[in-house]
A and B are shown apart, each in its own frame.
Chain A
Amino acid sequence: TQLLEQSPQFLSIQEGENLTVYCNSSSVFSSLQWYRQEPGEGPVLLVTVVTGGEVKKLKRLTFQFGDARKDSSLHITAAQPGDTGLYLCAGLQLAGKLIFGQGTTLQVKP
């Protein structure tokens, strides 16, 4: 049973386009984290959202935590080839375990 469902799993877009990645669950998490991973490296933390309804911006990336703390989204404006990578959402359970979604592979073509 996948606790965190990410969609889409694959996304190939042209440079300059906007995109949104969704992360949904039937479980409540104490926080939701987004990571980006490049080939041959470990995931790198982008942001942590803690409060239901919270919105955080990181340059062209906007992260939102759902009011019920069960879902989240990542929106990228004017995607660049450097945004290419595997995007992972992860929910932190109360017991301290971090559960990952399946990931979204993003390819931005110049």
Chain B
Amino acid sequence: DAKTTQPNSMESNEEEPVHLPCNHSTISGTDYIHWYRQLPSQGPEYVIHGLTSNVNNRMASLAIAEDRKSSTLILHRATLRDAAVYYCILSDQQFGNEKLTFGTGTRLTIIP
């Protein structure tokens, strides 16, 4: 299974951009890159996903390296509500059924 590596924790100031890195050097050509986040005492929630091109949505942007061995989740203007654990995940296809394998993620702290 392709794995991801993320820093255990990061801090950022409120109202500033946040760049959350993820390394996935063994990614295969068909693996999508997914980001989820988990707020305290809640289930994970979808943030963004992509394959090769950079992606933007209302929550964040995903920048994917040209060789696809790393990616960065960008929160353009952090708020206190963005304090969460962020998971970078590669989809894992086996026997035609795809699964997500979560790691331990990056705990993001927002400083007021």
- A and B assemble together: no
